[in-house]
Structure 1
């Protein structure tokens, strides 16, 4: 095993460094993973530019990255579900297993969740990373490492659609055609939604949404009022949506979601916006519109993997740019500014496709 453990470490706002770190020792229930592919998430960029997300604050050097896949390099003595050489996707959050939330199955709400690249926990944009085997998912031979890394954002889409109650014949409004909006679109389709309108401020992203199967798109403009856009949504769709899923989290999009959703429908807020905002709550209450939050995902990785492995969902189109780990700074710059129409930027810790047993 090489001693090279090049690692991307965030030291503070606008201070990302590549440095060598010791290869970690594993415990009995962990595996050591030779990392392969790590996607850049909007939260990674936010920590780089702002140093915090809500009450999660970077106060000491933190390894970045949490959308990932790799190859098992070593297994702990109690690990039975994996062997050296297995190709795996990593679910980045490990709960305590002991609190009421964990015991009731809602482990994403665990107050002691150790989540990759969320302060104070290190992420996995590194050559070698250790993780609890219970939260590693073996990839079938025909699923690429990049697709394995994309199971993380896809699981957000699965959880959002489950929280919204998307099903056969659903009419769905999705606010935002970034990576999370697009995976939510793909999942809503797979769950049987028959009308899906997706909005964005950038026409190019709407074009990709259309390519991925959105039945309707709507280009928004800064300054649009939520009430006016809600009327346009109804005109374009021909109906009021049953579910509205806000993948932006801005006050304007959350307001739009409430105004646009049919009476008795559901609004799900995925995007993390300001801590406080002005919302038309009377409108929602008087029409019995449920407003539900989403925090990451819970028991959704297996479903996300099944959607990809079965071919029901094709997430390869989301990856627009590829970089080696030595090019991490350039990769983050591309993701941050959307250079070249960037949607999902993938960092390859090992040479691309070197761990895909089937040629693609």
Structure 2
């Protein structure tokens, strides 16, 4: 069942190969059993999109064929597949871009983000959402209230990374949290740990403009990694969350974590780095990583709707679908926080 007239073809911004984007006309997908068809509203630009565009790969995930990028997505349900209530048509939704197998041991034990058979928007070989229409499992398309903008709904995806990092860090009321990196994910983590009750959130970054604005997104203090090195070294944070991927930041953060504290690695930098094993052992520091998230959309919607988290204010640039390439280069501006591709303007929904 569909609403209105669904065209047979749509626009799609396609990464042909490293550094080459082309607008194409492609067939509109048909929702399968248990799926919804979503007319895309807004899509946030993620660092992974930029990395695929500029480098053609992230680790062992390599672009070997044309691919549609984009996975931070919101939109409106305009059709449903078999087994999905027609009442879903017209729902404004935010989509969890993960499609796990739901059958393997990881899925069965609550670690669906680690499913070895995962299909994920914009991760080779699966197309993403820089296009007019996408399909998604109905239970992965979360209805959002009208008080939430299309842009905020799309940014629930990077917020989910922050929420999962805060969960892995086991942050609680009154905690002190150190975060390395004041970019979009650092800001999401800062807001997430504040929402969990952290009262002292220290964020480090080399860029002056990023340090200046991060206090608007959850940080209580913003420090320079070198100029404020002594103050950072004196911390004994309950948790350290690295969003930089930089080896010096990781090592400094570990040294600033209290005994029994937790280190969460979010940023992806060098594939290998030396770690202070004796310090980790003698302080009994827990070191873990973050790979996507599990069941974070309901919490993200609640926090954003309540005003505990602010996402609209993070958007610093907007581009139409025809300007995806410009959007992927927006991070060249040091004042940029979050670029969004507006596929369907709100007034058209």
TM-score strictly above 0.5: yes
State whether structure 2 residue 57 is matched by structure 1 residue 52: yes
Cα displacement (A) at 1:275: 1.2
The equivalent of 1:37 in structure 2 is 42
Tell me the SS of whatever aligns to 2:329. Answer: helix
- TM-score after normalising by structure 1: 0.92
Q: What is the alpha-carbon distance in structure 2 between the residues aligned to residue 213 and residue 136 of structure 1?
A: 28
**Contact 2:233/2:255, CA 8 A, preserved across alignment:** no
Cα displacement (A) at 1:2: 3.1
| Structure 2 counterpart of 1:347, from 319, 331, 341 | 341
**Contact 2:203/2:223, CA 8 A, preserved across alignment:** yes
Alignment of 1:9-158 (within 5 A): 9-80=14-85, 83-158=88-163
The equivalent of 1:330 in structure 2 is 326
Tell me the SS of whatever aligns to 1:18. Answer: strand
Change (3 A) 1:81 1:115: farther
315-324 vs 35-44, which deviates more? 315-324
The equivalent of 1:358 in structure 2 is none
The equivalent of 2:231 in structure 1 is 232
The equivalent of 2:13 in structure 1 is 8
| Structure 2 counterpart of 1:267, from 263, 267, 292 | 263
Q: What is the alpha-carbon distance in structure 2 between the residues aligned to residue 90 and residue 54 of structure 1?
A: 25
Q: What is the alpha-carbon distance in structure 1 between the residues aligned to residue 295 and residue 85 of structure 2?
A: 20
Cα displacement (A) at 1:196: 0.6
| Structure 2 counterpart of 1:296, from 292, 297, 303 | 292
Cα displacement (A) at 1:234: 4.6
Tell me the SS of whatever aligns to 2:70. Answer: coil
Alignment of 1:240-255 (within 5 A): 240-255=236-251
Q: Deviation digits for residues 25-83 of structure 1, max 9, x if unmatched?
A: 22121111100100100000000111111111111111100000001110112113852
Cα displacement (A) at 1:285: 1.1
Q: What is the alpha-carbon distance in structure 2 between the residues aligned to residue 204 and residue 66 of structure 1?
A: 27
Cα displacement (A) at 1:220: 2.6
Cα displacement (A) at 1:135: 0.6
Which stretches in structure 1 are left out of the alignment for 5+ residues?
Answer: 356-360
Which stretches in structure 2 are left out of the alignment for 5+ residues?
Answer: 1-5
Cα displacement (A) at 1:264: 1.2
RMSD: 1.5
**Contact 2:12/2:25, CA 8 A, preserved across alignment:** yes
The equivalent of 2:3 in structure 1 is none
**Contact 1:197/1:217, CA 8 A, preserved across alignment:** yes
- TM-score after normalising by structure 2: 0.95
**Contact 1:145/1:353, CA 8 A, preserved across alignment:** no
Cα displacement (A) at 1:299: 1.3
Q: Deviation digits for residues 244-273 of structure 1, max 9, x if unmatched?
A: 000112211111121110111110001111
